Chain A
Amino acid sequence: MENTFQESTTSAATRVKTLATQHTVTRVDLDVETLYRRYGDMVLGRCRSLLSNEADAQETCQEIFLKAHRYRDSFRGEAKPSTWLFRVTTTTCLNRLRSRGRRREDLQAEELPIAVEDTVLTGTDLRDLVQHLLDEADERTQACVLYHYVDGMTHKEIGVMLDLSAAAIRKRIATFKARLAKNPPAWLIELGSQPTQD
């Protein structure tokens, strides 16, 4: 069996060099501590907002940066590190919430960490949405709905983030919304009355 791993090593190194030239993402930028100092506030803030638990947020934030360092090849050429980290943070937090397998009462009884109210939905509305997501949506839909209702992203922006079409995003969000139609939460009624963008 002939091995081409050495060739792969060369091409990976070349690709990194190209990435650094075209997007001014230098080696220093990708160093884990530099990455943390630059983007840690965004990642930690988002972990706090989504996980509603300080210890979990701190642990998840560290895990994300260590992962970012380990898998820095996964930075896509066309994406900014902030976009990549935002997506990985969202997915990691949703995974963690799913693996917690918590009941609604547990979430609501928990003490909130220092919240960063930089999202469209915050506080109890955000927690209520997260619980509905865990109860009633599949993994991909969870991310779509979160980006749309919590982060105020357009269908097109979400599509770029998740490699899906805007139409597919719209459909997933509409399906989720339909599930809540019988007994819509207050935040959905309020957001539903505002115009949205594609």
Chain B
Amino acid sequence: MSHLSTLLLNQLRYGELDPVQETQAKAHLQDCAECSARLRAQESNRTAFVMAPVPQAIRESAARVPANDNKSWRWILLAVAAMLLVGFPILLNTPTTGVEELVPMERTKGEQILLEAWLDTQDGPILLDADDRISPGDVLQLKFSTLDRPYVSFGGVDGAGIIELYGTVQAGHDMQIHRAPFALQMDQTPGEQRFYALFTQTAPEESTVREAIKREVVPEGAVLRSIRFQKE
């Protein structure tokens, strides 16, 4: 007899199964001593858990975010960071040609669509190679060129498989190498850290960018570039 999965047992306790799943699970439990014991183990663990205090770090984190805060806070922070990095012209929605920079480095003509990550160091930025090792606290700057796809959407996947979208910029049709209007400080999550840039003709939906990153499937006419590093 196959057994109920650990997750399904948890979801049964949490009342998250749909009626059909719940009926099937309960029927299985009536006949399966092993799964019943596993469910009791979860219930017993729950009893002990609710008696213990909520860790300080969790309570402090909850207190830092107002109850009416919405998920836009991260985007707002990124936007503020972007303004600080590229200056107030963005805030005023004025042309920012003056702050776009051409990185002084040789590149092969015809490979204009690119994505690079630069590590901030005391001696100035260093261009990272694929599979370079990075550490928590490191600050990275992404640079890119667009050729004929002016919209660039940035995102990343950390070692835990969490997808994070950083935002979209419109860089124009040109041959220059631009700096993404934000910097990325690495967190503690170890494992492979990937960064993505989706180059499109028009501004993409957030879901399109997420899907491209999640499945590495590129929408028609778009180009996806990625770079990956090992975080220790």
Chain A interface (Cβ < 8 Å from any Cβ of B): 1-13, 15-16, 27, 31-33, 36-42, 44-46, 58, 62-63, 65-67, 69-74, 80, 82-83, 86-88, 91-92, 95-96, 98-99, 114, 116-120, 139, 147, 150-154, 157, 163, 194-197
Tell me how far the C-beta of A66 lies from the nearest C-beta in chain B, rounded to whole angstroms.
6
A42 to B206, CA, bound (A): 31
Known contacts: A12-B72, A41-B45, A82-B11. The answer to whether A88 contacts B162 by CB under 8 A is yes
**Residues in B neighbouring A116, C-beta threshold 8 A:** 41-42, 45
1/0 per position for B50-93, CB-CB distance to A under 8 A? 10001101110110010110111011101100100010001001
Q: Are A197 and B160 in contact (CB under 8 A)?
A: no
Q: Can you report 27 residue pairs joining A to B where beta carbons are below 8 Å apart?
A: A1-B90, A1-B96, A3-B181, A5-B78, A8-B167, A27-B70, A31-B62, A40-B54, A41-B49, A44-B49, A45-B42, A63-B188, A66-B58, A74-B162, A80-B11, A82-B7, A82-B11, A88-B160, A116-B42, A116-B45, A118-B42, A118-B45, A139-B192, A151-B6, A151-B7, A195-B2, A197-B2
Known contacts: A62-B55, A66-B61, A71-B162. The answer to whether A3 contacts B90 by CB under 8 A is yes
Tell me how far the C-beta of B22 lies from the nearest C-beta in chain A, rounded to whole angstroms.
13
**Residues in B neighbouring A31, C-beta threshold 8 A:** 62, 65, 67
**Residues in A neighbouring B14, C-beta threshold 8 A:** 38-39, 82
**Residues in B neighbouring A41, C-beta threshold 8 A:** 42, 45-46, 49-50
The residue of chain B having its C-beta at the shortest distance from the C-beta of A45 within the complex is B45
- Residue of B93, B160, B162, B189 with most partner-chain A CB within 10 A: B160
A83 to B161, CA, bound (A): 14
Partner of B61, one of A2, A4, A69, A163: A69
Quick check: which of B110-118, B127-135, B170-178 contacts chain A, the rest being far away?
B170-178
The residue of chain A having its C-beta at the shortest distance from the C-beta of B47 within the complex is A41
B212 at the binding interface (Cβ < 8 Å): no
**Residues in B neighbouring A16, C-beta threshold 8 A:** 70-71
Partner of B49, one of A7, A40, A66: A40
Q: How many A-B residue pairs have CB under 8 A?
A: 206
**Residues in B neighbouring A6, C-beta threshold 8 A:** 79
A74 to B39, CA, bound (A): 29
Q: Are B72 and A13 in contact (CB under 8 A)?
A: yes
Q: Are A194 and B61 in contact (CB under 8 A)?
A: no
Tell me how far the C-beta of B192 lies from the nearest C-beta in chain A, rounded to whole angstroms.
8
The residue of chain B having its C-beta at the shortest distance from the C-beta of A115 within the complex is B41
Q: Are B7 and A73 in contact (CB under 8 A)?
A: no
Question: Top 7 A-B pairs ranked by shortest CB distance?
Answer: A33-B62, A41-B49, A9-B75, A2-B170, A151-B6, A5-B79, A152-B3
Q: A2-B170, A95-B160, A151-B7 are in contact. List 4 more A-B contacts (CB 8 A).
A: A1-B86, A33-B62, A66-B58, A118-B38
**Residues in A neighbouring B9, C-beta threshold 8 A:** 118
Tell me how far the C-beta of A62 lies from the nearest C-beta in chain B, rounded to whole angstroms.
5
Partner of B71, one of A33, A46, A72: A72
**Residues in B neighbouring A92, C-beta threshold 8 A:** 160, 189
Q: Are A95 and B7 in contact (CB under 8 A)?
A: no
**Residues in B neighbouring A154, C-beta threshold 8 A:** 2, 5
Q: Are A3 and B39 in contact (CB under 8 A)?
A: no
Partner of B57, one of A66, A86, A118, A197: A66
**Residues in A neighbouring B103, C-beta threshold 8 A:** none
Known contacts: A2-B169, A99-B190, A119-B38. The answer to whether A67 contacts B160 by CB under 8 A is yes
